[in-house]
Amino acid sequence: MLVALAAGAAFAVSTAVAGADVYAAQCAVCHQAEGAGLGPFPALVDNAFVEGAEGALVSLVLRGRDGMPPFANLLDDAAIAAVLTHVRSAWGNDAAPIDEQTVAEVRADAEPAVEIAVDLPDDWRERGEVAYLETCAACHGAGGLGIPGAFPALAENAFVQGSAEALLRVLLNGRAGMPAFAGSVDNERLALISSYVRSAWGNEAHPVDAEMVSVVRGGGDLDLAPSTPTTRPGAAD
Ligand code: HEC
Ligand code: HEC
């Protein structure tokens, strides 16, 4: 009798997920063993986002962002809760643990509520359309349908509706046959155009303002969650 109970208890303990082990297996390759980060991989130590709001942090790990891969299909709720609890309490970080229930709730929220303040004139849609027609329509078409095989459609395009930062980088720097607009179009006009293409022809993503363009132009990061996937199968990069 006593032997059987002891064996049961030992078995129960072995099912606990160790956050440090998940971190070592899944995160350390980029963020480094001690969370110090390296090159494009941000430090997770002394990081206000890591120690901040639980929902945004869980959502980032589930859904990814630019170079940060999504873990929704790789890690279950218990493993994500464990690894984030570890990251929030290791290396001098000091934030509350995250439980499995919180991860389950964020996972169930298909569209996490993201509040983004933008500073745009009231007639941004009209002005954005005019600027789009003048600057972009020659290639992508007045209706955003592009020309198959030459110029991609911007209508119902996941990349256009994804990370505002990734979109602005393509507009500022160009890509393959797409010219760079950093030298010829100012921040306000790029903001109007980006906001327009993200809301026209069935697209639905939050608008972009001149300050955001200025940050990306300066090489900075926009700390915004993507509204839809940021990569498009078959995209050139
Ligand atoms: C393949 C490399 C890679 C792996 C693996 C990876 N990350 Fe990331 N992570 C990144 C990159 C790149 C960014 C910056 C993304 C951006 O610029 O928006 C990032 C950003 C983050 C951020 C946001 C930091 C901030 O200041 O905004 C957190 C938190 C984070 N990762 C946690 C994790 C955790 C936890 C794991 C393991 C479950 C993990 N990452 C695995 C590459 C990675
Ligand atoms: C001279 C023709 C031309 C003009 C003008 C032009 N583009 Fe493009 N654009 C292209 C080409 C070609 C590509 C495909 C690049 C590639 O294959 O990576 C492209 C790609 C894009 C993409 C990426 C689409 C995707 O699915 O990956 C976006 C977004 C975009 N253009 C928006 C714009 C906007 C907004 C303007 C106006 C500011 C504009 N383009 C002006 C030719 C043009």
Nearest ligand by distance to the CA of 22: 1
Residues with a CB atom less than 6 Å from ligand 1: 26-27, 29-31, 40-42, 44, 47, 49-50, 57, 60-61, 65-69, 71, 83, 87, 221
**pLDDT digit of tens for each residue in the chain (237 aa)?**
333 333 333 333 333 579 999 999 999 999 999 999 999 899 999 888 899 889 889 999 998 887 787 888 888 999 999 999 999 999 999 999 999 999 999 998 865 455 678 899 999 999 999 999 999 999 999 999 999 999 999 998 888 988 899 999 999 999 999 999 999 999 999 999 999 999 999 888 889 999 999 999 999 988 775 444 433 333 333
Give the residue whose CA is nearest to atom 37 of ligand 2. Answer: 136
Fold exhibited by the domain 2-108: Cytochrome Bc1 Complex; Chain D, domain 2 (1.10.760)
Angular region, 42: left φ>0, alpha ψ -120 to 50, beta rest: beta
Distance, C-alpha 42 to centroid of its chain:
14
| Residue 206: predicted pLDDT | 87
Q: 3-class DSSP state for residue 170?
A: helix
* Boundaries of every domain in the chain: 2-108, 124-217
- CA distances 52 to 13, 47, 88, 97, 101, Å, are 30, 8, 9, 11, 18
**CATH topology agreement for domains 2-108 and 124-217:** yes
The half-sphere exposure of 119 on its side-chain side, counting CA atoms within 13 A, is 7
Average pLDDT, the chain: 85
Structure tokens at 69: 């891969």
Q: What is the pLDDT of residues 113-141, one digit of tens each?
A: 556 788 999 999 999 999 999 999 999 99
Nearest ligand by distance to the CA of 223: 1
| Residue 234: predicted pLDDT | 33
Residue whose C-alpha is closest to residue 209's, from 222, 228, 225, 200: 222
Domain 124-217 has CATH 3.40.50.1700: no
Residues with a CB atom less than 6 Å from ligand 2: 135-136, 138-140, 151-152, 154, 157, 159-160, 167, 170-171, 175-179, 181, 193, 197, 232, 235-236
CA of 128 to the centre of ligand 2 (A): 16
Q: How far apart are CA 168 and CA 217, in angstroms?
A: 8
Which residues of the chain form beta strands (DSSP E)? none
Pocket test for ligand 2, best of 139, 184, 198 (most atoms within 8 A of CB): 139
Shortest-distance atom of ligand 1 to CA 26: 37
Q: How far apart are CA 83 and CA 81, in angstroms?
A: 6
| Residue 110: predicted pLDDT | 64
Residue whose C-alpha is closest to residue 196's, from 147, 114, 136: 136
